[in-house]
Chains A and B, each alone.
Chain A
């Protein structure tokens, strides 16, 4: 119908305020969700790349049996389009400068590293540089400590076995400076092709062959599928996410982004819902008029459906127009922060949630009130009919709630998240019901007054319906924003607590029992006291309830911990950061039993009362599991899978002691004196790993803050949309109040107070609901502990009150600056 076409011009729509709000909300919805999704995907890629550099590759295959892997395995990888590289690690004595020293050698092929960079210095006082390849054949890079220990200089030669190599650089940091107990002695890096000439590596010597792989994720997965059946127990396949110190932090960051994205979806949907309901209400007269002009209900339905589609397209296009440059901006900021180029990648899959958000917002939120327009009686033209009571909107609400949680679920893939948020919202609605009841019963009694306070309270009562729904939307918005702030705060606090500036960054291993006191004394004197010292016995878990463990546990579960020797210890009291989750810690004087780390227990299916047999050297020790405990793997303190009581199963077995401590960079030279005094004690330097982790945490923190800012901006827009939905009514009222003799100052004060009360209440409700949601989230998603967050509970309601009252003042502007006459004319 031509008339319908005419009625549907976007230009005509644009003249209507409410349509502008719907469109703005849609654009913001699509833009926010798309930006976050794109950025999250980018961040994920970037972080995985930085994380990959921890392996110097995307995956590593370690052969701990001292034999290289078959050539066919590498050929297969190349055939599958993967890049490969090789390393050989072994310990040996080196000679140079008139001294000798046990070192840990890493010999690398030309391709090393596939990911990340090596940090070197060409002399002790030269600047640090990042390079993409190891030393040339004939050259060697050494740890600066070794340079001092052997009193070498750059250009001197170093004897590795039968081979003379030239010291051409200082090795500051390896990209794969992993946390490996084998890397004890000072590091030396040479070329792999030189290894045979040294004559050090022979059949049966302790050598670790490590293979590097990099390429497309799917190719890597496919290759592993192919490789897995052929792997022997001594082969270990390592991906980014397996057992790396910081992978937990990464996972939490990812979840945080998902949470942020979900909240953005929620906020945007609220904005669309509010604006379109307002629009539908404003369209009732038009619809009645169209009906008298002969359009039937179905025609009206079609008319508005088409309009809706048009909006959808406009919203999506507009949203993407905003999102894509914004994403580019964020991505290049990321690249600045990381101080290295980032491949900006526009992930098409990341746009799906944005499109879905637009569709769901339109059809679950905007459509229902608009659909009901077809029922508007034509009679309305002649006589104003009672409007909607709001009761018709209840089924809409249900549809909306189901839709939104479906969307969040789909988006975050976390039922826990959905349930937590839903719980928070239910609590919010309950509190609102209570508040509504209170508002009506208490405020009903407040009457009259040239007094701004009383007028404000009367105003609240007068607008009780609008007030309550505004409080509902504000509270919800604030709840979502506060949830995010709280989760961010606890996330960051967690990280900082985990890795304080003085987190232990050196391990001492292999301390003989009789030198324990001397070692501790040495570092006390340096003013760098040691953390708790633990005895350590190495052994394998060989039997489970009398059955060989390899039979008792399915092949898939034959994880690293079973292939390697485990670090066993005995201790009297539970370390502070461990937590018993099942069973009981050893009673005083108890000598039986073993306490197992929770994750390992889970993977092996160990229960309290299971009997474990360990093979330690030639001895067998059998104990019953008496407790299962969690461990902070990233605490940078010694951690143990298995702990025995003092005088228990490990009694009498030869043990060495292990500990960690913090050593600031300026005291690094003390290590030389220490090594001379205690040549048998191994020092494991992990200070570079720690600073790298701290760097990553900082990057993630910045990214999270950027996203948080985006979401808070979206929240502000929602609030603006909601308040401006009642703008006309408020201006009319303002004009009338002035006509009836209300003073400007009275009007200003009462409006500001009214909004302040509104904002305060909304803030309080929002924060309490947020606490509830965080309480639930904290346990299920972020593994943290819950505290009341006074630093948020107090300021948010205050800020919300102040901001809203300023906003109210701002809205009043046109009412104050114009003569009441003009206002009345305008509002006719």
Chain B
């Protein structure tokens, strides 16, 4: 727990810091290097897009930054805690209290209703009155009428809105989104990304978003490019477009 106490304002380290991240997976015959010496710093409240072609290593990077996996080499600091020094349970605790996720394939549990899906992280975090909070969020994303529907009864866009409600439910300090509009058509994707950006602004969350959609990327304050496991940051664009 101690590692995770909020840092004092005067020192204010970055929200996320990755140093020399390298990730390799062993295949049957040889080893595949997915990420190669990635360095990255993201400040509190910033919104960052990571753009790259399919297969370039975006999801892998996101997973490492969020502590879902540990890198082969290098280190990740999230909100002042060095992820590789934490036990699996401490990492889980960190995720429960500070991190939210939005996935390309929604990752809703099919057996649960929309409401129950949103309540899940609240229950895990032991938050009081999870149902009330989940209801508010679903109303906020425009699904107040669909509380008892299961994912199968919802369209892709609606499912992603449930996922967004779930991601923001536990008021995370940092939100990781992996191609949140990747499985949606243009207009639906637009609506979903509007919602995502809006909630992000309201809650002042740090946003790390992976996408191959240049348009969506342009709405973030900073953009990184990833190619063949190497990360580059073109010169900062200044204020994000809204």
Contact = CB atoms under 8 A, between A and B. Distances in A.
A821 B125 contact: no
B153 A386 contact: yes
Contacts of A450: 124-126
A447 B130 contact: yes
A295 B108 CA distance: 32
Interface in A424-449: 447-449
B1 interface: no
Interface of A: 383-387, 447-451, 454-455, 458, 462-463, 465-466, 729, 732-733, 736-746, 819-822, 824-825, 828
Contacts of B69: 819-822
30 contacts: A384-B152, A447-B123, A448-B119, A448-B128, A448-B129, A450-B125, A455-B123, A458-B123, A465-B111, A733-B111, A739-B101, A739-B107, A740-B95, A740-B96, A740-B166, A741-B94, A741-B95, A741-B97, A741-B124, A741-B125, A741-B170, A742-B92, A743-B93, A743-B96, A744-B89, A744-B92, A819-B68, A821-B60, A821-B69, A825-B59
Given A386-B152, A741-B121, A741-B125, A736 B92 contact: no
B120 A740 contact: yes
Contacts of B127: 448
Interface string B187-230: 00000000000000000000000000000000000000000000
B121 A743 contact: no
A825 B59 CA distance: 9
B142 interface: no
Nearest to A746: B124
A66 B121 CA distance: 95
Given A448-B130, A729-B110, A729-B111, A387 B92 contact: no
Contact of B68 (A385, A454, A465, A824): A824
A759 B125 CA distance: 28
Q: Which of A455, A463, A746 has the most CB of B within 10 A?
A: A746
B131 interface: yes
A420 B107 CA distance: 47
Contact of A462 (B111, B128, B166): B111
Contacts of A463: 111
Contacts of B175: none
A449 B105 contact: no
B124 A740 contact: yes
Contacts of B88: 744
B15 interface: no
Contacts of B152: 384-387
A824 B110 CA distance: 15
Nearest to B176: A739
B122 A448 contact: yes
Given A741-B95, A742-B92, A820-B69, A462 B122 contact: no
Contacts of B63: 819, 821, 824
A147 B208 CA distance: 105
B79 interface: no
A-B interface, 4 closest residue pairs, ranked by CB to CB distance from nearest:
A741-B96, A450-B126, A741-B95, A821-B69
Nearest to B124: A742
B47 interface: no
Nearest to A729: B111
Contacts of A449: 123, 126
A385 B155 CA distance: 10
Contacts of A465: 111
A736 B107 contact: yes
Contacts of B110: 729
Contact of B95 (A451, A739, A822, A824): A739
B77 interface: no
B125 A738 contact: no
Contact of A732 (B59, B97, B109, B131): B109
A380 B117 CA distance: 23
Nearest to A822: B69
Contacts of A447: 119, 123, 129-131
Contacts of B168: none
A285 to B, nearest CB: 12
B122 A745 contact: no
Interface of B: 59-60, 63, 68-70, 88-89, 92-97, 99, 101, 103, 105, 107, 109-112, 116, 119-131, 152-153, 155, 166, 170
B99 A741 contact: yes
Q: Which of B60, B110, B170 has the most CB of A within 10 A?
A: B110
A462 B96 CA distance: 20
Given A820-B69, A821-B63, A741 B93 contact: yes
Contacts of B107: 736, 739, 824
A451 to B, nearest CB: 7
Nearest to B59: A825
A228 to B, nearest CB: 70
B92 A743 contact: yes
Contact of A740 (B111, B121, B130): B121
B109 A739 contact: no
Contact of B89 (A454, A462, A733, A743): A743
A185 B200 CA distance: 106
Given A450-B126, A819-B69, 11 more contacts: A447-B119, A448-B127, A448-B130, A462-B111, A462-B116, A739-B101, A740-B166, A741-B170, A742-B92, A742-B124, A825-B59
Contacts of A737: 120, 124
Contacts of B122: 448
A828 B183 CA distance: 12
Q: Which of A448, A738, A740 has the most CB of B within 10 A?
A: A740
Contacts of A825: 59
A745 B124 contact: no
A794 to B, nearest CB: 33
Nearest to B172: A741
Contacts of B124: 450, 455, 737, 740-742, 746
B150 to A, nearest CB: 8
B68 A820 contact: yes
Q: Which of A466, A744, A821 has the most CB of B within 10 A?
A: A821
A776 to B, nearest CB: 37
A821 B130 CA distance: 26
Contacts of B130: 447-448
A471 to B, nearest CB: 16
Nearest to A451: B126
B19 to A, nearest CB: 19
Nearest to A825: B59
Contacts of A739: 68, 95, 101, 107
A618 B214 CA distance: 122
Contacts of A466: 111
B142 to A, nearest CB: 20
A726 to B, nearest CB: 9
